[in-house]
Amino acid sequence: MMARRNNIHHLDNDFTRQQNNLNAQQASKMLLKQRRKRRAIIIISFFGILALISTVQIIRAQANLAHVKTQITAQKQKITKKKATQKNLNTKIKQLNDKDYCEKIIRDKYYYSKPGETVYSFPSEVASDVSSSK
């Protein structure tokens, strides 16, 4: 097949030049508009990603802070219990260093008596068995 020749010729007058200029200006405006729109989308996306990353870090930090606060509370409770136990043990140590208290414990719990001493027990004051602990 033979190629067809284009029988349409454009006129080279002021009107066609003006129309060509307007079309070129509109095309350049559209291109500029598309470029600006693309740049705006890129910039907004960039800041959106930064905001998302910052939000995730803040949420993680708050969760970590809450976890640490619960650990601190638990440790404070443990410290309080340990201090109470230590106070009780210190009181017992002081009592065991007291000679009269030790003698009382030994006499009540183990039915110990000094040489030549007689121990009388009354029914209302029956001590618990030696093998059981108080």
Tens-place pLDDT, residues 15-54: 888 888 888 888 899 999 999 999 999 999 999 999 999 9
The count of other CB atoms within 10 Å of the CB of residue 27 is: 10
pTM exceeds 0.75? no
Greater confidence (13 vs 125) lies with 13
Alpha helices by DSSP H, listed for 9-115, are 14-97, 99-110
Spatial contact of 119 and 111, defined as CB atoms under 8 Å apart: yes
Q: Up-side HSE of residue 32: CA atoms within 13 Å toward CB? A: 6
Q: Tens of pLDDT along 14-26?
A: 888 888 888 888 8
Instruction: Answer yes or no: is pLDDT of 129 > 90.
Output: no
Length of the chain: 134
Give me 92's structure tokens.
């017992």
